[in-house]
Amino acid sequence: MLSIIEIVTEMASYVKRSGFSVEYNSSMGWVAIHNKEVEEDTFFLQDADAEQFADEAQRMAFTADVDIDVALLAQAKQYVDCI
């Protein structure tokens, strides 16, 4: 059985392997999920959506004891899967 750390890490790796990155700006209240192949924002979240995304990533980072950057990538998996 996989641990929560392994699950979150695998989700983040999946997003990176798929050619995406996540940028979070807490002071401006936005999250951008970039597709590196087309060099543009594939998803852009702001205000309440960005706050919810970041809050969920922070909970994931705390629960799985991983770096916030890993948790942000893992949280982006649900968006990457939509493409």
Q: What is the model's pTM?
A: 0.92
Structural domain including 13 reads 4-80
Q: How does pLDDT run across 5-42, given as a tens digit for each residue?
A: 999 999 999 999 999 999 999 999 999 999 988 877 78
Number of domains in the chain: 1
Paired with 43 in beta bridges are: 33
Region for 46 from its dihedrals, namely left if φ exceeds 0, alpha if ψ lies in -120 to 50, beta otherwise: beta
pLDDT digits (tens, 9 = 90+) for 32-82: 999 988 877 789 999 999 999 999 999 999 999 999 999 999 999 999 998
Whole-number pLDDT of residue 36:
87
The answer to whether 42 and 83 are in contact (CB under 8 A) is yes
